[in-house]
Amino acid sequence: MRPIIFGDEGRWEDHASLCASFVFKIHIKLHDEEPWPAKMPVVARKSNSYLVYTRH
């Protein structure tokens, strides 16, 4: 289970080189934004803010 500030996780599927580089993003809610409803599924949690990370 993820903290309520973390949303859906994914990649930039439209950008092949980013997918090949294992660059991912996870949608987040910032402290000044309205939180997602507690019962909202993680896959439905989308926002205009996200963390970018890579796996190696």
The residue with greater pLDDT, 19 or 9, is: 9
List Cβ neighbours of 30 (8 Å cut-off, separation of 6 or more). 49
Distance, in Å, from the CA atom of 30 to the CA atom of 47, rounded to the nearest integer, reads: 10
Write out pLDDT tens, residues 14-50.
778 877 788 899 999 999 999 999 899 999 999 999 9
HSE-up of 48 (CA within 13 Å, CB side)?
2
Mean pLDDT of 46-56: 90
Distance, in Å, from the CA atom of 37 to the CA atom of 35, rounded to the nearest integer, reads: 6
pLDDT at 50: 92
Any idea where the domains of the chain sit in the sequence? 6-54
pLDDT at 36: 94
Q: Strand pairing partners for 9? A: 26
The residue with greater pLDDT, 46 or 1, is: 46
